[in-house]
Chains A and B, each alone.
Chain A
């Protein structure tokens, strides 16, 4: 029940920067997501993978935060992909058409090998 604030950490894997997110994505996640994006972008990789493996809750205000992030990436000319989503949130990403603008992979390995394939 306690709103567990989102924490992000960034890892570079080959040509991708992976943002590991832990906690809940609602409106209050904006600062953490922005910081994660900033750190990932500083690494210079053209693709950023959002790893939702440890995210157990996303609501509409969280979707707004993700949309904001996608808009920012589009301005910066970066690609964002997603992995590790629970089935329910994958469905929501499809309903909201976020999936059309952010390719979704089952797991991190899939997301990273896609980046490798594209940059090869």
Chain B
């Protein structure tokens, strides 16, 4: 990404969130401050004989759905990832005070675009369509299958809702997707190709998305009777991630555009980096090349023009697996900080599980709220910190209770994904 300069500053002016522990910014902030878990037992997974029968599903009620969708849309929309993404995305646009077209003859916003991440956001629609096709009932698919199962379904729906006339596309980089979308959108604004970009990520939940992970035995088993204690990032007892779902959305805007229309500014995108470990030197489809992560963090600092010592807190990828201590080690190497000198570090996944392609986006919304409001949410379920973690950093670096911190200036957010892909973004107080 082009380095940050006084001429190309990018700020966050709107946000929306559909998270397993809350829907909408006010409830989400409260859930963060309370350390509220969004993980619950899911009977359907038990019925289907999953090893992991718990997960994070957003509490999206009918009233909220009716606010964002017509009765016809509610009838045919099966893809929950797309539903979550539309709610979060439109809410973010409205939160930014940007106009949502009310009639079809309105001029498109030629300077407004969308790069929105997706994972398996059309899972339920794919399932329904597969059954119809296999039963020789192709014609019953109707006109609404393609937009729900095509990869760019989410950006296509959002672009139409908001009348966006700039680039409208979908990105995918496994669990790095949400964070990647923010960086790709920021880059487009820095390059001068757009003034406003809606970005974020969404993913469906449930058996058809989570089954592959269950088969790999990378999700948490043997915690089905204690859902809220199952996701345990940084703990000695971390034994697999808890799957989640939802969506997070951000409106990024050039500082010039935000100032010209007197928009509220939540935070600044100081910079970031995206790379891959090439699946070399220990990196594989599922495990990171550690060098790649260190390099990604250092490139993010360079891009932002931020010194390692200026980082106040880190929102880690930290999925609640054996890789958590490695990630702490890589942050320590990249920043050349350890012990009591290390920044605060936490994992939102302790509260909401791993929301896959939505993870980086929901976690970024949390980081920005923390910067804007001056607090750090607790990273729960790590009373038994992993000894490898405490051999690198002081235990006080991990907030186990909500901290009021008015002086936060820079928070880093990292995401890593299958395919050995990495992303790191630095958010700054504006």
**A and B are partners in one complex rather than unrelated chains:** no
Binding site for B on A (CB under 8 A): none
Binding site for A on B (CB under 8 A): none
